[in-house]
């Protein structure tokens, strides 16, 4: 007997979750099918682009991601407080980015609602949308649906592309958060398709390193690290980016049974990136 998704997600316990979605049977999300030699590499960009667009809509922050051949990982922060702080107009603006607005809401925007019962019904609908803006199941549903439609169209087939439900794991403290993020970012190295973090395509750590090299404060659509600046900023991952890079670099060198690891002779990651950047 399955457990309802809303019972697996408890925002009171933690706002951080590790999510995994896998393709059904032999479907390929990305990569190259070794039997048919058909390449699906371009689909990785689909997911990144969709995450970018959903970042403008949902109050769900991406802390880490890795897009593999038949599955992808996300570490997310459910930002309920941001959603609750939005005005009714801001909720409608966000929801309208990807959804058709109902006639009653459109009339409300145009100032055409005069009856109190109509106004009450409209606000109830907007509040329902507000709840969806921080609903992880809605976020994953929209992300997966878009990719499934594109993949099925490209493959000229119908039916399920994803397993019926995404898997989620609650990350109850900072140690669990850091471990899950590192695990996700190291997926390509452990799979033997990348040799070091800065070469791990379609991962959050490469996106963060690329942004660092371009002197950007953080990578697009990714939740920023705030570390010791947490008293100055309201939102962010509660440790320093440089500390996290060193954690990932150290973890990548550790030997795991039946898993690839990084060459232990490589210089430390901060040296490879040009020294300590504080």
The helix (H) or strand (E) run that includes residue 248 is helix 241-252
Residue 17's φ and ψ, nearest 5 degrees, are -145, 145
Residue 4 belongs to a domain: no
Q: What is the pLDDT along the chain (278 residues), one digit of tens a residue?
A: 334 445 478 999 999 999 999 887 566 667 677 777 778 788 888 989 999 999 999 999 999 999 998 889 999 999 999 999 999 999 999 999 999 999 999 999 998 888 899 999 999 999 999 999 999 999 999 999 888 888 888 877 777 888 777 899 999 999 999 999 999 999 999 999 999 999 999 999 999 999 999 988 888 889 999 886 555 556 899 999 999 999 999 999 998 888 888 888 899 999 988 865 55
Same domain, 161 and 71: yes
Radius of gyration of the chain (CA): 21
Q: Tell whether 69 and 205 lie within a shared domain.
A: yes
Q: What is the DSSP letter of 275?
A: S
The structure's pTM equals: 0.88
Q: What pLDDT, on a 0 to 100 scale, did the predictor assign at position 275?
A: 62
Residue 60, classified by CB atoms within 10 Å of its CB into exposed (0-12), middle (13-18) or buried (19+), is buried
Q: What is the pLDDT of residue 3?
A: 44
Question: Same domain, yes or no, for 120 and 53?
Answer: no
**Helix (H) and strand (E) counts for the chain?**
12, 4
Residue 267: strand, helix, or coil:
coil
Residue span of the structural domain in which 93 resides = 83-133
Measured between alpha carbons, how far is 120 from 126 in angstroms, rounded to an integer?
Answer: 10
Q: Which of 186, 175, 181, 170 is nearest to 256 (CA)?
A: 186
The answer on 108 and 239 residing in a single domain is: no
- Among 133, 167, 198, the domain-final residue is 133
Is residue 190 domain-shared with residue 222, that is, in the same domain? yes
Residue 6 in any domain: the answer is no
How many other C-beta atoms are found inside a 10 Å radius of the C-beta of residue 17? 24
In the prediction, which pLDDT does 148 show? 85
Distance, first Cα to last Cα, the chain:
50
Q: What CATH number is attached to the domain comprising 230?
A: 3.30.70.1290
- State the total domains in the chain: 2
Residue 27 lies in a domain: yes
């Amino acid at each position: 007997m399955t457990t309802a998704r809303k019972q697996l997600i408890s925002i009171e316990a933690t706002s951080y979750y590790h999510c995994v979605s896998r393709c059904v049977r032999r479907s390929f999300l990305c990569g190259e099918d070794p039997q048919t030699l058909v390449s699906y590499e371009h689909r990785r960009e689909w997911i990144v682009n969709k995450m970018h667009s959903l970042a403008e809509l949902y109050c769900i922050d991406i802390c880490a991601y890795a897009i593999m051949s038949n599955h992808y990982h996300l570490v997310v922060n459910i930002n309920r407080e941001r959603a609750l702080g939005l005005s009714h107009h801001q909720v409608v603006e966000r929801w309208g980015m990807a959804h058709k607005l109902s006639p009653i809401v459109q009339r409300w925007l145009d100032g055409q609602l005069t009856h109190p019962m109509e106004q009450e019904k409209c606000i109830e609908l907007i509040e329902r949308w507000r709840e969806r803006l921080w609903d992880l199941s809605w976020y994953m549903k929209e992300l997966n649906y878009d990719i499934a439609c594109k993949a099925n169209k490209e493959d000229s087939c119908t039916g399920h592309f994803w397993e019926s439900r995404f898997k989620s794991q609650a990350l109850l403290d900072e140690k669990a958060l850091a471990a899950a993020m590192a695990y996700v970012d190291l997926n390509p190295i452990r799979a033997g398709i990348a040799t070091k973090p800065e070469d791990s395509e379609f991962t959050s750590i490469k996106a963060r390193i690329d942004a660092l090299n371009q002197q950007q404060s953080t990578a697009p659509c990714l939740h920023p690290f705030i570390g010791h600046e947490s008293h100055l900023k309201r939102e962010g991952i509660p440790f320093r980016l440089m500390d996290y890079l060193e954690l990932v670099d150290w973890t990548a060198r550790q030997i795991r049974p039946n898993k690839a690891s990084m060459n232990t002779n490589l210089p430390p990651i901060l040296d490879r990136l040009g020294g300590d950047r504080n």
